[in-house]
Amino acid sequence: MRRVAWIVIAIVMVIHIVFGLLLNISYTGVNIDWSDKLALIGVGVVISCVILFLTRARLRVGPQGIGVLNLVSERVFGWDEVVGVEYPENWFCARLLFPHDEHIPIMAIQARDGDRAVTAMQEVRRLGEKYTAPNLDT
């Protein structure tokens, strides 16, 4: 996902820089100043920052539990709270299971990652067993 994000950021920035610099290539009846050009480039920077923000997803597994950082904040769930980790069919990412059919998505492990997602799930389950979470084989 990071690779795709960087490619999209590059495309967005090239488009905004080129169009920003070429805004007044011919007179259309509208006065275009450097502030207008910089504003268009600035819009590209803002869009790129939003795209980059989507790559923040992280998953940390340790003796205290599982830390999930999706978009804004990280939450750490103790092993006594976690029921399991699963990868539902036809879903875009893995999810962490809790009692009473509750779950949260783990955006760090996504379906489009293919073999890397499978390896990550195996590693999460292996570490879960290591840190006394015997029921993470869902």
pLDDT in tens, 64-79: 889 998 888 888 998 8
Nearest to 120 by CA among 102, 133, 107: 107
Give the pLDDT mean for 16-37: 85
Q: Please answer whether residues 60 and 67 qualify as being in contact, where contact means their C-beta atoms are separated by less than 8 angstroms.
A: yes
The confidence score (pLDDT) of residue 50 equals 92
Are residues 116 and 71 both part of a single domain? yes
CATH number of 108's domain: 2.30.29.30
Per-residue pLDDT at 133 exceeds 60: no
Give the pLDDT mean for 85-102: 87
Per-residue pLDDT at 8 exceeds 80: yes
Structural domain for 86, as ranges: 58-130
Quick one: pLDDT band at residue 41, thresholds 50, 70, 90? very high
Are residues 62 and 126 both part of a single domain? yes
SS3 38: helix
Are residues 45 and 87 both part of a single domain? no
The DSSP secondary-structure symbol of 135 reads T
Q: Which tens digits make up the pLDDT trace of 97-127?
A: 898 889 999 888 888 888 888 898 888 888 8
CA–CA dist 80, 77 (Å, integer): 8
CA–CA dist 56, 78 (Å, integer): 22
Are residues 119 and 65 both part of a single domain? yes
Domains: count for the chain: 2
Whose tokens are 């067993």? That residue is: 129
Last residue of a domain, one of 29, 53, 77: 53
